[in-house]
Structure 1
């Protein structure tokens, strides 16, 4: 036989041996239909694959194109599932070896990824039921910053390990849209994505999906930011949004019923100003011991201030004094209480003191005294009318059990709504026939102990026993066992007050009004203002005066009685000179 014929024969023999090997490896996966196995074998042979260990996501993408070009294939997804099952069959075998365990890891790589090939076999198999497979394939070979691809991969892993079924699919499809948007619009870092880019993403979703569907998909951006911020090896102080769960603040600084989940800086578009605001907040978090809710109020005010200067190219410490003064004058002109306006001025002053200390400025460019307003104390009668709370009590049995007990705490004790939400099992005590409640005041960062009715104490004991509430557990809990959210409490009370037509359906529930009721009741019963102040937990009597709703009427009545006596006439007092003395 001529030499060239021998080479051809040997090459054909070698090729046939390889084809036989592929056929045997594919046929070993008996859980896949024979017809589908044959189609996979034919494709692999045509692609020159010598071992099914060479199967990967990129090859699957080519197989999908191969199926689409084949007119006899009517349900490509079924054939793709067969491909995936064959891959998984081989991966399971390889994972039994040390080399296979090194090969199949969940580390990021610049390559195609198919979720049915995910190195966690249980996760991979859970994707085999995907009806259309749209969420399965991810291209990490795209021309874009590697940091962006790694961020998308990090979020992807969190989603597939956290969610299941339809919810997981929806979030993965949303993440794909975010990934595509970032690549097209050259967004290099999700955590520093600007407000303009965010708005552009929202607009793109509206155009593609419509307004209703957009809102559901848009949430993937916030989720991605949160995952990246919480999972980063070190805190990313340059992120546009900080998620406060990362900081592990002491419980004394947090109100669990009104938690502050995040703070955002993206609204400040001058990047230098944004950087300064981040530094200031970092100072407030780390150096001061202020409550987080108080810090958030300061942030919102300063963010509003800096947003006002978004059009300036200069950083805030270089903006002309006249422009700063015009902003302060605008605060004076706004229709707000004098106390509120003055508080805003002081927040800006504190920010400028920080700029001076950090040597951005040599001195503050305005005299804050010029912008302060005289505070006039206006009394607002906020007590709940007797007819209203009596009607609630008469219909209270119709309310859900937890709302019944929460309302009784408000009505009996006058504590804040947020304090009701954070009561714990060990907060109740009986001593020498008296009954006491221990309440943590977030505003004061201290505990106070107040007397409560015996009936309320006994109702709580029954409730604790029924729901097996431990000493350190919250009496009223959310779905995860944490403190009941104040917003949920107020929403539910509004809902049931409307449902049962309290005050003909016109009553608007406000938990704080019941503090006014109790303060007024105590003062009208002859208890001193100082004692009422201590009970409510106020630092100053001026604050307590605003809670005693009958005080103006009581003073007026006393005044009338005084001047009814002839010796106390208005003219007589003027002649004595006591009004000017």
Structure 2
């Protein structure tokens, strides 16, 4: 046989052997329709594939183009699903070997990725149900910083493992749109995205989407920041949004009914000032034992202060004294309570003390005493009128069960609304015929025991038994078993007070007013101010005086006593000639 004919014959044999192997490998995946298997076979052979272990996301992209060019294919997604099932079938076999386990890894790689090829079989198969497959393909070969691609990949994995169904698809499509924005605008680090970049992203979405979809897509930025901050091997102090879940603060410093999820520095656009503020907050978190809510108040005040100087190129410790003084004068001249303005001055003073200690300044560039104002204690009558709470009590049976019991705690004990939300199962005690409640005061970071009515104690026992509340569990719980959110409590009370037309629908529920109620009742009954202070858990009597709405009643009683005497009657005053019209 001539050499050329021999060569042709051998090549034909090779092709036939190749086609036979591809055919056998594809046909092993019997769950795929025969027609679809044949189309995959044809494509693989034409593409020069020698073994289906060579199938990958890039080849899938080529196959999708191949299907689109084929006029006989009317439902490309069905054919693509067949391609993916064949890939999964092969992946299952390869994962049984050590080499296969090294090949199929969830570690980041600069390559295309298809979620139906995800190295965890259960997850890969779950994506086969995608109707259009728009969320499946991810290109990690794009010309952008590797750090950014790794961040997107980290968020992608977290979304895949956290969500399911349509919610997962929405999150993935939003993440892909965000990825596109970061590439187009050369974002190098999601955690240090500037405020202007964030605003640009929102503006683009406003032009592209409307309504709920825009909010969903924009929400992926916060989700991404949270995932990256919490999952990092070490705390990313340079991030301009910190998620407090990462810090594992002691329960004494947190209020579970009013949780603070994050703190943000991105509003401070002078990067040096932003770094200084981050250092200061790190100091407050780590060195002090302040409540997190108190620290957040300090942060918000200092952030407002530094935002005022965003236009300055210099860092805050180099800004001219006159400009600092002008800002402090503005605080003094604002129409706010003296105590509030003084508190703001002291927060800025503490910040400057930190700057001096850290060596940014040699001395504080202003005399804070000059800006302080004399505090005048103003009393506000906040007690709930008897007619209002009597009406609520008369209609309380119409309220949901948890709201009934929560309101009774407010009305009977005068504890804070947030304290009601964080009561626990074993906080109730009966001793020698008396009934007691143990309450944790977040502000004071300590427990106190107060007497409660027998009826309230018994109602709680019935409630605990009915809902199987354990000793260490919250009496009132949110959907995940945590403390009931104070914001939810107030919203629900407002809703039901309006629904049942309390005070003709005009009553605005405020839980703290019932604290004033009880303080006033006790004081009006002859209990000393010191005893009322101890019951409320205040450090100073000045605070308690602001809670006791005693003046109107005291004046009314004095007036009645005065005019009961005949010599003090209105007629007697006229006869004396001492009344002048």
Taking structure 2 as the reference length, the TM-score comes to 0.96
8 Å CA contact 1:383–1:549 kept in 2: the answer is yes
**1:494 and 1:78, CA in 2 relative to 1: closer, same or farther beyond 3 A?**
same
Give the CA deviation at 1:100.
1.1
Residues in 1 aligned to 2:31 and 2:41: alpha-carbon distance in whole angstroms:
15
Give the CA deviation at 1:570.
19
8 Å CA contact 1:84–1:117 kept in 2: the answer is yes
Residues in 2 aligned to 1:552 and 1:336: alpha-carbon distance in whole angstroms:
26
Residues in 2 aligned to 1:38 and 1:576: alpha-carbon distance in whole angstroms:
119
Match in the other structure for 2:204: 204
What do the CA deviations read for 1:282-313 (whole angstroms, capped 9, x no partner)?
00000000000000000000000000000000
**1:196 and 1:161, CA in 2 relative to 1: closer, same or farther beyond 3 A?**
same
**1:115 and 1:414, CA in 2 relative to 1: closer, same or farther beyond 3 A?**
same
What do the CA deviations read for 1:507-538 (whole angstroms, capped 9, x no partner)?
00000000000000000000000000000001
8 Å CA contact 1:352–1:364 kept in 2: the answer is yes
8 Å CA contact 1:422–1:474 kept in 2: the answer is yes
Structure 1 runs not aligned, ≥5 long: none
Determine helix, strand or coil for the equivalent of 2:130. Answer: coil
Residues in 2 aligned to 1:574 and 1:267: alpha-carbon distance in whole angstroms:
68
Residues in 2 aligned to 1:151 and 1:580: alpha-carbon distance in whole angstroms:
84
What do the CA deviations read for 1:515-562 (whole angstroms, capped 9, x no partner)?
000000000000000000000001111111111112355268559969
Higher mean displacement: 247-256 or 327-336: 327-336
Give the CA deviation at 1:8.
2.2
Give the CA deviation at 1:30.
1.2
**1:506 and 1:107, CA in 2 relative to 1: closer, same or farther beyond 3 A?**
same
**1:477 and 1:121, CA in 2 relative to 1: closer, same or farther beyond 3 A?**
same
Structure 2 runs not aligned, ≥5 long: none
Structure 1 runs, 4 residues or longer, greater than 6 Å off: 559-581
Determine helix, strand or coil for the equivalent of 1:359. Answer: coil
Match in the other structure for 2:417: 417
8 Å CA contact 2:436–2:452 kept in 1: the answer is yes
Match in the other structure for 1:219: 219
8 Å CA contact 1:391–1:502 kept in 2: the answer is yes
Determine helix, strand or coil for the equivalent of 2:429. Answer: strand
8 Å CA contact 2:192–2:239 kept in 1: the answer is yes
8 Å CA contact 2:412–2:453 kept in 1: the answer is yes
8 Å CA contact 1:437–1:450 kept in 2: the answer is yes
Give the CA deviation at 1:211.
4.2
Tell me how large the CA RMSD over aligned residues is: 3.8
What do the CA deviations read for 1:333-365 (whole angstroms, capped 9, x no partner)?
222111100000000000000000001001111
**1:102 and 1:307, CA in 2 relative to 1: closer, same or farther beyond 3 A?**
same
What do the CA deviations read for 1:312-336 (whole angstroms, capped 9, x no partner)?
0000000001000111111112221
Higher mean displacement: 454-463 or 372-381: 372-381
Determine helix, strand or coil for the equivalent of 1:49. Answer: coil
8 Å CA contact 1:109–1:140 kept in 2: the answer is yes
Give the CA deviation at 1:44.
0.6
**Residue-pair matches, total:** 581
8 Å CA contact 2:178–2:217 kept in 1: the answer is no
**1:137 and 1:464, CA in 2 relative to 1: closer, same or farther beyond 3 A?**
same
Give the CA deviation at 1:12.
1.9
8 Å CA contact 1:545–1:551 kept in 2: the answer is no
**1:547 and 1:362, CA in 2 relative to 1: closer, same or farther beyond 3 A?**
same
Determine helix, strand or coil for the equivalent of 2:132. Answer: coil
Residues in 2 aligned to 1:425 and 1:27: alpha-carbon distance in whole angstroms:
62
What do the CA deviations read for 1:441-463 (whole angstroms, capped 9, x no partner)?
00000100000000000000000
Give the CA deviation at 1:5.
2.3
8 Å CA contact 1:152–1:179 kept in 2: the answer is yes
Give the CA deviation at 1:566.
14
Taking structure 1 as the reference length, the TM-score comes to 0.96
